[in-house]
Amino acid sequence: MATDNTPAEVNKLLQAAIETNADVIIGSRFINRQGFQTSFTRRLGIKYFHWLNRLLTHKSIYDTTSGFRLLGSRAINLAATYYPDDYPEPESLIFFSRAGLTIKEVAVVMRERQGGKSSIAGFSTLFYMTKVTLSSILSYVRKI
């Protein structure tokens, strides 16, 4: 059974914010490849969103679907005005990038889901990929 190292992982985000002064810090499970890495199929989807994000923002963010984030005041102010509803992780990176915010990733160790189940499975995977792709493109062309 995994030990609960959540405070140490949060501290990594806080330390990165202090050291880099970035507006958005993303906890990434793929930098050091430690801890839970998710299924092969999901990793393919995440690689696709890495590619799409890089195409639209010219930034290389590897864990675009990570919801383990720390937002600075500029990012919070933007998110208070507009933040994607359904699957915000990939789309919000495009929105933050277009607004000129600094985004950094920091290596963290994530654990496997302890309860509940994902809303993205089976046929809904294709729907999710299509929906997030379209919403990301719309965020790219949207006036900020």
What are 99-140's pLDDT values in tens digits?
Answer: 999 999 999 987 766 665 655 655 577 787 888 889 888 888
In order of 84, 93, 112, 113, 119, the CA distances from 116 in angstroms are 22, 26, 11, 8, 9
Secondary-structure percent of the chain, ordered helix, strand, coil, rounded to 5: 50, 10, 40
Under the banding of pLDDT at 50, 70 and 90, the label for residue 2 is very low
Q: How far apart are the first and last CA of the chain?
A: 45
- DSSP state string for 9-39: HHHHHHHHHHHH--SEEEEESSSS--B----
Q: Could you report the per-residue pLDDT of 27-64, keeping only the tens digit for each?
A: 988 776 665 566 677 777 778 888 999 999 999 998 88
Verdict on whether the full-model pTM lies above 0.85:
no
